[in-house]
Chain A
Amino acid sequence: MAGSKTSDRVFGALTIVVALAYIASATQIKTAFFSDPLGPRWFPYIIGAVAALAGFSLVIRPDEGEKWPGLFIFIKIAFACAILVVYALTLRRMGFLIPTAFAAGLLSYQIEPRKLQAFLTGIGLSGGLFVIFKYALGLGLFALPKGWIG
């Protein structure tokens, strides 16, 4: 992937685009009838303008960037992200134990790919944390899907 100064330039340009979009959406803010001299739009305008200027200075004077990791790492990170999203969506419906065991085990495997070790980490963390959360901290968690316990 691109190293050197390209990443800073791209980041600077992206900042300008987002800052301008931010200013554009700030123009849509409705003002109240009685408003203070500054109103609710100006502070967002200032933020957008300052960010755009900083982005511009990054485009003309970029730093030497850090090297980006290879494609494989990005796939791993995207996969980890997907695990977390699925975890976030299932935590309520499926109870604590099963999603946590899956998510913790898979994440562990991402950090060090050993199957048995990851499997045990998942089970251990899920059970251990449940005991701590439920009984030591008294959080209202459900162990299993609600349908199972009736």
Chain B
Amino acid sequence: METFALLGQGFSVALTPENLMLAVFGCILGTIIGALPGLGPSNGVAILIPLAFSLGLDATAALVLMTSVYYGAMYGGRISSILLNIPGDEPALMTTLDGYPMAKAGRAADALVLSGVASFVGALLATFGLILMAPLLSRIAYLFGPAEYFALYLLAFSTLGGLASKNQAKAIIAACIGLAIAMIGLDNSSGMERLTFGTLELIDGVDFLVAIVGLFAVTEVFVFIESSGKQTAIGVKIDKITIPVRDIIRTFGTMLRSTVVGFIAGVLPGAGASLGSFLAYSAEKAISKDKSRFGKGDVRGVAAPEAGNNAAAGGALVPMLTLGVPGSGTTAVLLALLMTLNITPGPLLFEERPEVVWGLIAALLISNVVLLILNVPMVKIFVKILMVPPWVLLPGVTMVSFVGIYSLSGSWFDLLLMIAFGVMGFFLRKLGVPTVPIILGILLGNYMEDALRRAMVISGGEWQYLFSSPIATGLWIAAFAGFVAPLFLRRYIKTPDKVPD
């Protein structure tokens, strides 16, 4: 009951004309960002944060805008998967498998509508999951001391490294790069400079937004220059939009199952939406009696990954809001947004700023409805946007990133740093090193160190303290298992080819 009262309060925050307008605007922008190949939820949200910040929006409004963009991008990713056979963003990779064949068979409109409905089911149910689970988890989170938090951060890195990358060593290196960068600047406890090499600009540390925009947006430009001219997919025309009622009814079970699978994948810290859609597709294929149609335009193959990735997107918000540990690359970016707004996620957030949390949740429910309208009857408009060629899109994205970062700090040093991160991101991507752990490292590095140091202060330097409570020990075991298990499972489960979001 209490939950409903709080949710009602949330709706009263979210339903102000300004916030409602921001939600609609965010949904449109998000769908566009998701649909455009080369712009995914992570880099889309990343380049918008500095701009949202310089608009001077208050915390709730900024969150409403950015989470609508986040959900919108999850919906939009499927459009280019289905029409161009290019995933609009990484979580939409699995949708190409059956979506494109379906479009080639002349059923593009049906595929778009079906996947739109699947996205809606996944995202809506996941938002209810968030409403039920987040308050519970935030109550458990009260039991967390520094030792538990340290173990939890470790768990986030290990699931990210274990599940989401092909080579554990590379994921560790990526996490270390991020953590090492986080150490630069003033030391929180002693106030001494660390690793600044006497550079004035580094005393405040490296701004995580600079790193995020560099690694996500600037890197993309270099990748496109490398692959220029190669991406010539033949687009598919769509005819009149009709609602394939029979297919929707037939795949309803698929959507529900995929939502559950996706939501669980999302809640795991560090796993994310790509994994959600991948697991949902694989699970659906594994339990179906007639597997022969999968990969050739099976409607279940369209519904499963879309319900899965949208459910995971909602699930990923659970650990992010309650524990301050993001469940995916994009939620890491959203965490960066919270930090920029001076909001510390965690159990206290639910007590101290209920209007932010419940306003956000209400905004998610609203944006789901808006997105269903945008993505089913009005999908044709977004299809047109796919015509924007990369030679306009990428310079545009670059200029937006530059102006965003420049308007935040006004320093050319940050711009140069951003370019450096872009170059680093390009080489790391060629080497198969995932970049999301770097972001996570930069975001969490100081918290992780603080947790460790406070634990050592409490225990007087006894390291056994780190394993002293059942929760801490459990998290250490989970972290270890999450990291090691994929080594043995790799033979049976093949992760998707791209580095998951």
Chain A: residues with CB nearer than 8 A to chain B?
Answer: 7-8, 11-12, 15, 19, 22, 25-26, 29-32, 35-40, 43-44, 47-48, 50-51, 54-55, 57-58, 61, 63, 65-66, 68-69, 73, 76-77, 80-81, 84-85, 87-89, 91-92, 96, 100, 103-105, 107-108, 110-112, 114, 117-118, 121-122, 124-126, 129, 133, 137-141
Contact = CB atoms under 8 A, between A and B. Distances in A.
Nearest to A55: B173
B180 A107 contact: no
B453 A77 contact: no
B228 interface: yes
B464 to A, nearest CB: 13
B62 interface: no
Contacts of B117: none
Contacts of A65: 431-432
Contacts, number: 194
Contact of A91 (B218, B395, B415): B415
B66 to A, nearest CB: 15
Contact of B225 (A39, A77, A104): A77
Given A44-B180, A51-B176, A76-B225, A85 B416 contact: yes
Contact of A44 (B195, B426, B431): B195
Nearest to B54: A139
B191 interface: yes
5 contacts: A25-B197, A26-B195, A43-B179, A104-B399, A126-B399
B166 interface: yes
B228 to A, nearest CB: 5
A35 B189 CA distance: 8
Given A81-B423, A139-B54, A73 B395 contact: no
Given A26-B183, A121-B392, 6 more contacts: A7-B431, A15-B173, A44-B183, A51-B180, A77-B222, A107-B394
Interface residues of B, number: 67
Given A37-B456, A137-B54, A19 B176 contact: yes
Task: Give the most central of B197, B431, B454: most A CB within 10 Å.
Answer: B431
A77 to B, nearest CB: 5
B12 interface: no
A136 B406 CA distance: 17
Contacts of B1: none
A112 B229 contact: yes
Given A44-B195, A63-B432, A91-B415, A129 B453 contact: no
B54 A22 contact: no
Contact of A80 (B173, B222, B410): B222
Given A51-B172, A77-B225, A111-B228, A11 B431 contact: yes
A64 B218 CA distance: 26
Contacts of A108: 391-392, 394-395
Nearest to B161: A54
A32 B190 contact: yes
Task: Give the most central of A44, A63, A125: most B CB within 10 Å.
Answer: A44
B51 interface: yes
B392 A103 contact: no
Contacts of A8: 431
Contact of B228 (A15, A105, A110, A122): A110
B172 A54 contact: yes
A91 B406 contact: yes
A53 B499 CA distance: 23
A58 B399 contact: no
B390 A111 contact: yes
A103 B192 contact: no
